[in-house]
Every structure is written in structure tokens, then in C-alpha cells.
């Protein structure tokens, strides 16, 4: 018998994870943390740049950096005409400024060349799969960046995973311990019920920060411990 490939192993795990009562996990998290509503719908291009700026820094810091960028360049056309070094100097406080400035400049240049205008509002009319395929062409737009843009700005059912979410989902057993970023996003996009993507995303982050911490998770206080592979070994 030949050994299974990594892809086959992940697919087998996904089938097993699909049997877990995801809807009850979501329900228990909502009882513990509330039912968050997405009130942040915004311009898709603004959101895409904002998410790029959020990489490898805190939420507060990335918000300040985005605000500084918008003050310096009130329109994206002005940012496109600016030197890359000027953009980098403007976003310096957010870290990785040279790298992010290059990504933003390249992104704006490609959008302008393709559409003649710096506007991604057409993403609202695309299906989630079409929008993911479109954004995937841009350097620096990975699965999380794309998912955050589409979930927050376009309110599409696309599931972003951050560090907290990866940790919780691995402990629960919804994604394998060893799984690529792209595959993890693919698995969760199939498992999360329609209309629950935003709630599950936000509450998993809350849960990861408050209860399912990297060290010394509070399993005895966990509202989803009965569904958690890791938690069942701790209580």
C-alpha cells in the first residue's frame, strides 16, 4: 500500500472535521461573546491597503499608519504618483515600510493599468470565488489579506485566519496541525455555515485572546471544550 500524499491527508482530515458540530461551536462562542455584526463595510481598495499595512504589527499601530497614509495622500491617484520612498516614509511607524510601500505601489499601478481607475467597487458584484481569483494576482495579497478584504469590505462569506484562529482551530481539530495557509483557508471556507463567517472569525479571535491562550489556556472555562481535541486532554 502506498503512503498517502500530504494533500490526501489534509482532505481526509477535512472530511473528519466536517463531522464536528461546527454550528454548535459557533453557537457556544456566540453565547459566550455575543453575536458580532459587521458594521465596518468600506471601500474595498481602502480595506485591501489597510490589511497590507496590518501585517506584522498591532491593530492600533496599523490603524494609525493607514490614517497617516490617507492624510498624506487623500486619493490613491496621488499615492500612485508619489515616490515609493515617500510612501515608505509615511508608513514607517507600521514596520516593514519598504516592503509594504513596494507592494502598495505595485498594487495601485496594476489596478490603474487594468481598469483605468483606482476603484475596486466591482468586487461587490463578483462571487466570492471570482473576487478571490481576482485579488490573488497581486503580489502581497495572500489568503488572509484577500479574505479580510472580502469579509470586512464586501461582506462576502470568506473566512480569514490569524494567529489566534489558527491556534484555536488546531486545538479543536478543525484543521490539521500541519497545514499550509492556503489549505487552511480553503478548509474553513467549506466548513463555516453561510452567514456565520464574520461572527465565527471575530469570536475565535476573542476566544484566542481571552481563553485559548498560547500558554496555559483556560480549558476549564472554555465554552467549546466539549468539542475540543486538546481540551479533552486537559479537563
Backbone angles phi, psi at 192, to 5 degrees: -75, 130
Q: Which residues of 198-224 are buried (b: 16+ CB within 10 A; e: fewer)?
A: bbbbbbbbbbbeebbeeeebebeebbb
The CB density around residue 16, as the number of other CB atoms within 10 Å, is 12
> Are the beta carbons of 100 and 53 closer than 8 angstroms?
yes
Q: Is 102 a catalytic residue?
A: no
For 1, how many CA atoms within 13 A lie in the half-sphere containing its CB?
Answer: 2
CA geometry: angle 53, 144, 17, nearest 5 deg: 155
Q: Which residues contact 120 (CB under 8 A, 6 or more apart)?
A: 43, 44, 45, 48, 111
Closest residue by Cα to residue 153 from 182, 113, 119, 178: 119
> Are the beta carbons of 29 and 200 closer than 8 angstroms?
yes
> Are the beta carbons of 30 and 68 closer than 8 angstroms?
no
Catalytic residue among 100, 144, 156, 196: 144
Which residues are annotated as catalytic? 144
Amino acid at each position: 500500500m502506498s503512503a498517502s500524499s500530504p494533500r490526501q491527508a489534509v482532505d481526509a482530515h477535512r472530511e473528519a472535521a466536517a463531522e464536528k458540530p461546527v454550528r454548535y461551536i459557533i453557537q457556544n462562542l456566540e453565547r459566550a461573546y455575543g453575536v458580532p455584526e459587521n458594521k465596518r463595510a468600506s471601500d474595498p481598495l481602502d480595506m485591501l491597503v489597510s490589511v497590507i499595512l496590518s501585517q506584522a504589527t498591532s491593530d492600533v499601530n496599523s490603524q494609525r499608519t493607514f490614517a497617516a497614509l490617507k492624510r498624506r495622500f487623500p486619493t490613491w491617484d496621488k499615492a500612485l504618483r508619489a515616490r515609493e520612498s515617500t510612501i515608505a516614509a509615511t508608513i514607517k511607524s507600521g514596520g516593514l515600510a519598504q516592503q509594504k510601500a513596494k507592494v502598495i505601489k505595485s498594487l495601485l499601478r496594476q489596478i490603474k493599468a487594468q481598469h483605468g481607475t483606482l476603484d475596486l467597487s466591482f468586487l461587490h458584484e463578483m462571487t466570492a470565488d471570482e473576487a478571490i481569483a481576482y485579488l490573488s494576482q497581486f503580489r502581497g495579497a495572500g489568503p488572509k489579506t484577500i479574505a479580510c478584504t472580502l469579509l470586512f469590505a464586501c461582506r462576502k462569506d470568506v473566512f480569514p485566519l490569524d494567529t489566534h484562529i489558527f491556534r484555536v482551530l488546531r486545538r479543536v481539530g478543525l484543521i490539521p496541525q500541519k497545514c499550509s495557509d492556503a489549505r487552511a483557508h480553503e478548509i474553513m471556507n467549506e466548513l463555516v455555515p453561510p452567514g456565520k463567517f464574520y461572527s465565527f472569525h471575530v469570536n475565535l479571535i476573542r476566544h484566542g485572546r481571552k481563553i485559548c491562550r498560547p500558554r496555559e489556556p483556560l480549558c476549564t472555562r472554555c465554552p467549546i471544550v466539549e468539542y475540543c481535541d486538546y481540551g479533552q486532554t486537559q479537563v
